[in-house]
Amino acid sequence: MAAHRLKVAILISGRGSNLQALIDQFGPAAASSPIEIVLVLSNRPEAFGLTRAGRAGIATKTVDHKAFPDRASFDAAMDREIRAAGAELVVLAGFLRLLTDGFIAGWHDRLVNIHPALLPAFKGLHTHARALEAGVRFHGCTVHFVRPEMDTGPIVAQAVVPVRPEDDENSLGLRVLAAEHRLFPLALRLIAEGKVTVEGERAIVRDAAFAGGILFNPLGA
Ligand code: GAR
């Protein structure tokens, strides 16, 4: 009998480059995958990510937030679609609407987000510009379970990139995005393989390799 594959719904709002990284690893063309992407759902009908999913042969739905009188009814409509698709885990891959506490509670420890900063630093928007403004020497991205307070929740995995003196928002953002494309599949694979549990408000990862050593930036003479 085939091993159980975790059924995942992916929520997007835009270009979907992270979605593409997940399709490349877990989509129908992947040789073997612990994940089945059962739905890609967008709140914006023109999101390019819908085209990416369609090309890969993955089911898509649009739930346009503009068609709903309030956030609760919009979230309820999304929730219905996600459950109808049989999803066991919901993945936010550049989904740029705030979710209601009710929706989040309905997917407790089964709702994952990627954020373009090393949480808990730089929650919210414009993370790359704010990292440059703060003068930090390292920046990066975080995959975490979602809690009602924005950009909080148990951290599954993080990737770090150096900030270089010549960086602008664009160059730093591209470096972080490249890290996101590697981190997100890695974190979802760990979850799908049952290696991640939430204890208190911390995520514990078993049977994974962890980085060692110290990173310096600048490197010194
Ligand atoms: C990604 O950088 C993701 O981390 C960010 O939106 C971008 C979506 O790009 N998400 C957030 O800022 C969530 N607060 P993509 O559509 O190409 O994956």
1-107 and 114-221 have identical folds: yes
Domain boundaries of the chain, sorted by first residue:
1-107, 114-221
In angstroms, rounded to a whole number, what is the distance separating the alpha carbons of residues 156 and 188? Answer: 9
| Cα–Cα distances in angstroms (integers) from residue 35 to residues 8, 23, 39, 168, in the given order | 7, 10, 12, 36
200 C-alpha to ligand 1 centroid (Å)? 27
Residue 38 has pLDDT above 70, yes or no: yes
| pLDDT at residue number 178 | 99
At the second CATH level, the architecture of 114-221 is 3-Layer(aba) Sandwich (3.40)
Confidence of residue 93 (pLDDT cuts 50, 70, 90): very high
**Ligand 1, atom 12, residue with closest C-alpha:** 115
What percentage of the chain reaches a pLDDT higher than 90? 97
Confidence of residue 63 (pLDDT cuts 50, 70, 90): very high
Most informative mutation of 12, 112, 114, 115 for ligand 1 (most atoms within 8 A of CB): 114
Most informative mutation of 11, 13, 17 for ligand 1 (most atoms within 8 A of CB): 17
Residue 172 has pLDDT above 90, yes or no: yes
| pLDDT at residue number 2 | 61
Catalytic status, residue 65? no
Can you give the pTM of this predicted structure? 0.97
Residue 64 has pLDDT above 60, yes or no: yes
Residue 196 has pLDDT above 80, yes or no: yes
CATH number listed for the domain at residues 1-107: 3.40.50.170
Residue 75 exposure: Cα atoms within 13 Å on the Cβ side: 15
The three-point CA angle 161-164-167 to 5° equals 105
In angstroms, rounded to a whole number, what is the distance separating the alpha carbons of residues 221 and 53? Answer: 48
Using DSSP, state whether 33 is helix, strand or coil: coil
Nearest to 215 by CA among 114, 139, 151: 139
Residues in the ligand 1 pocket, defined by CB under 6 Å: 14-18, 93-94, 114-116, 177, 180
Strand 202-205 relative to strand 35-42, pairing: unpaired
| pLDDT at residue number 220 | 86
